[in-house]
Amino acid sequence: MNIKVTLSSNKKTKPSKGINLGFGKIFTDHMFTMKYTDGIGWHDPEIKPYQTINLDPACMVFHYAQEVFEGLKAYRGEGNKTMLFRPEANAKRMYDSCKRLCIPPVEIEDFCQAVEELVKVDADWIPEEDGSSLYIRPFIIATDEFLGVHPSKTYLFVIILSPSGSYYKNGLEPVNIWIEDSYVRAIRGGIGFAKTGGNYAASLIGQQKAEKEGYAQVLWLDGIEHKYIEEVGAMNIFFKINGTLITPELNGSILPGITRDTIIKLARCLGYRVEERRISVEEIIGACKRGELEEIFGTGTAAVISPVGKIRYKEENFIINNHEIGEVSQKLFDLISDIQHGRVKDEWGFTKSI
């Protein structure tokens, strides 16, 4: 892919060191765009100054939500290196999401090249503070100006970058989660496994309900029987019961998290038994009542690992591990963070220095 590069002549002022960057609020000087036209394929890859996108109000994405997105991070590694974490896994997942949403997929190599070249252009935006990173948001939208319900014949692939602060201001903090037993996020056969906006639109009402009750996140149950654990908001979930880590198997309605996959591999390397299987909410509550539920944690790119301190199910609250960070949660968080920043040898080939 031959990417045309136009550099900004009007660079923004970077946030000063030590300021809390938050998440997804500040954007860098450049963006990547590439167009798709039926009969031509993906064409005109470009890196150019960050700017608004001009779209006709009839554009299909506004009406029928034909879109996919990704989320990954670049880190400032040891020796000032720029490091990406498993970018080809994000490329592969976007390829699969595209297939489900009838969007012509972007080739894995082209996705990786676009991410790498854009991050290199804006590399001086990668924050240096411990735990901070440059969040990378690739997305594809349907751009046909047409109100008929049909896959679009034209698309726009965009990548934007956002320097983000540490998810935790004071180290890992356990969160409280609400087990939702009426609303559902996704069902098997639907679009749950694809990273697409529609899943988030469906989840907002449950999230709002949980927040109103004082819970940070929703734990979703399966859409058919409302019985089996699926995932939390924008994270996958792990339970440690009698020393074994258990996470729901990928069943088509759960998002296949790259952090989830990384945790499974690393936990097995550390000697833990890890099971991917169907797990009911009753099994969790039962283990909790018998004192066998030792830890719960969520996994995702934003927080890496998010320990759970309390769960609520049908009017009842259960405190997990004294509302403290579990030993395994902490160990895995430290190991992944060290790999991402190049502080330990990456024996798994997860990181890519660019």
Identify which range of 10-18, 77-85, 141-149, 296-304 contacts ligand PLP by CB under 6 A. Answer: 296-304
Burial class (CB in 10 A: 0-12, 13-18, 19+), 104: middle
Instruction: Report, in Å, the least distance between residue 339 CB and ligand PLP.
Output: 14
Whose Cβ is closer to ligand PLP: residue 37's or residue 251's? 251
Q: Tell me which of 60, 159, 175, 235 binds ligand PLP, using CB under 6 A.
A: 235
Helix (H) or strand (E) holding 259: helix 258-269
Residues 78-97 contacting ligand PLP, CB under 6 A: none
Whose Cβ is closer to ligand PLP: residue 301's or residue 329's? 301
Instruction: Report, in Å, the least distance between residue 198 CB and ligand PLP.
Output: 11
Identify which range of 122-130, 150-158, 295-303, 324-332 contacts ligand PLP by CB under 6 A. Answer: 295-303
Q: Using the rule CB under 6 A, is 301 a contact of ligand PLP? A: yes
What is d(CA 274, CA 332) in angstroms, rounded to the nearest whole number?
A: 13
What is d(CA 128, CA 140) in angstroms, rounded to the nearest whole number?
A: 30
Residues 40-79 contacting ligand PLP, CB under 6 A: 71
Binding mask 162-181 for ligand PLP (x = CB under 6 A): --------------------
Q: What is the DSSP string of 128-179?
A: -STT-EEEEEEEEEE--B--SSS--SEEEEEEEEEEE--S-BTB---EEEEE
Binding mask 180-219 for ligand PLP (x = CB under 6 A): ---------------x---x--------------------
Which residues contact residue 171 at a Cβ distance below 8 angstroms, ignoring those fewer than 6 apart? none
Instruction: Look up residue 268 and give its amino acid.
Output: R
Identify which range of 14-22, 116-124, 228-236, 281-289 contacts ligand PLP by CB under 6 A. Answer: 228-236
Contact between 35 and 44 (Cβ < 8 Å): yes
What is d(CA 28, CA 50) in angstroms, rounded to the nearest whole number?
A: 7
Helix (H) or strand (E) holding 329: helix 327-340
Q: Tell me which of 113, 247, 259, 340 binds ligand PLP, using CB under 6 A.
A: 259
Q: What is the DSSP string of 185-244?
A: S--TTTTTTS--HHHHHHHHHHHHHHHHTT-SEEEEEPTTTS-BEEEETTBEEEEEETTE
> Strand 229-232 to strand 236-241: parallel, antiparallel, or no bridges (unpaired)?
unpaired
What is d(CA 238, CA 297) in angstroms, rounded to the nearest whole number?
A: 5
Instruction: Report, in Å, the least distance between residue 331 CB and ligand PLP.
Output: 18
Residues 238-257 contacting ligand PLP, CB under 6 A: 255, 257
Instruction: Look up residue 336 and give its amino acid.
Output: I
Instruction: Report, in Å, the least distance between residue 263 CB and ligand PLP.
Output: 9
Identify which range of 5-13, 28-36, 174-182, 232-240 contacts ligand PLP by CB under 6 A. Answer: 232-240
Tokens of 116: 């790498």
> Residues touching ligand PLP: how many (CB under 6 A)?
15
What is d(CA 309, CA 221) in angstroms, rounded to the nearest whole number?
A: 19
Identify which range of 1-9, 101-109, 258-266, 267-275 contacts ligand PLP by CB under 6 A. Answer: 258-266
Binding mask 97-136 for ligand PLP (x = CB under 6 A): ----------------------------------------
Instruction: Look up residue 266 and give its amino acid.
Output: L
Give the residues lining the site for ligand PLP (CB under 6 A): 71, 195, 199, 231, 234-236, 255, 257-260, 299-301
